[in-house]
Amino acid sequence: MAQNSGKKSTKEKKEKIFHPQSRKAGQLVRTQLRKSKLAELAKERSKKHGSQVNLYNFFYHALPTEGGPLSLEELHYIIRDVWLPRHDSELEAERSSRRKGRPKSVREQKLEESKRREAEEYRTGIEVVDLTDPPNVELFRRWDQKEAAFIQQLRFVRISSATPGLVVVSRLGKHPSLVQERNCDNNDRDQAMETDDVPILLEPQSRFAPTITPMDGAV
């Protein structure tokens, strides 16, 4: 019977150890930092995505179940009297439950900060889905209330409490149906301009005689 030599048939792979000041160690540190940064960015994107979906869901349910688009005044009303004060009851409950002399809870501070930030955003100009445009509203009603990418194809406007009568189109909308609608509107407008010019070109010159001033020396 063969004796066991006690030696392993394969050598164990030794773990590589780099000097802290070596180039390789620096590369490993930078790689790890980059991975951590990407993970943090992904987390922030996910949080932002969820926040946007909540905002879009609010406006989705703010639309009447039947009927067409909203007026600009109605859109302001939804933001001013429904969206901004939506946490007021919870904020009041937090204040009422706090004993006199005690500091504000973390939740109360977050609610107050959110309320201030959103009110300032509305004052300077908040970007929302354009609920005053019929084709855009029709598209918005088809949303599954989950996919934020679909919303990014819609038309957006910016409105503010400082100038409630002013509407700025911030995004025209990338959805094919909206692009087609714009192209049709442009073609109709061009045709209308050409049609308006035709009667003037066909008018006899005598029509303009009373308004023509002879040049000096002309007979």
Contact criterion met (CB below 8 Å) for 24 and 18: yes
| Of 56 and 204, more confident | 56
Q: In this predicted structure, what is the pLDDT of residue 211?
A: 40
The CATH number of domain 40-197 is 1.20.1440.170: yes
Q: In this predicted structure, what is the pLDDT of residue 72?
A: 95
Q: In this predicted structure, what is the pLDDT of residue 67?
A: 77
What are the residue boundaries of the structural domains of the chain, listed by start? 40-197
Kindly indicate the confidence band of residue 204, based on its pLDDT and cuts at 50, 70 and 90.
Answer: very low
| Of 51 and 215, more confident | 51
Q: In this predicted structure, what is the pLDDT of residue 40?
A: 55
| Of 75 and 51, more confident | 75
Reported as a single tens digit per residue, the pLDDT across 114-155 is 999 999 999 999 999 999 999 999 999 999 988 889 999 999
Q: State how far the alpha carbon of 118 is from the alpha carbons of 22, 83, 199, in Å.
A: 49, 9, 54
Report the chain's mean pLDDT, rounded to a whole number.
76
Q: In this predicted structure, what is the pLDDT of residue 215?
A: 43
Q: In this predicted structure, what is the pLDDT of residue 69?
A: 92
Reported as a single tens digit per residue, the pLDDT across 22-64 is 665 566 666 666 656 555 554 554 455 556 778 888 899 988 8
What is the edge-to-edge ordering of all strands in the sheet holding 156-159? 126-129, 156-159, 168-171
State how far the Cα of 191 lies from the Cα of 188, in Å rounded to an integer.
Answer: 5
Q: What percent of the chain shows pLDDT beyond 90?
A: 45
Contact criterion met (CB below 8 Å) for 134 and 177: no
Reported as a single tens digit per residue, the pLDDT across 81-107 is 999 999 999 999 999 999 888 999 999
Q: Which two tokens stand for residue 107?
A: 């939740």
Q: In this predicted structure, what is the pLDDT of residue 66?
A: 77
Q: In this predicted structure, what is the pLDDT of residue 168?
A: 96
State how far the Cα of 91 lies from the Cα of 107, in Å rounded to an integer.
Answer: 8
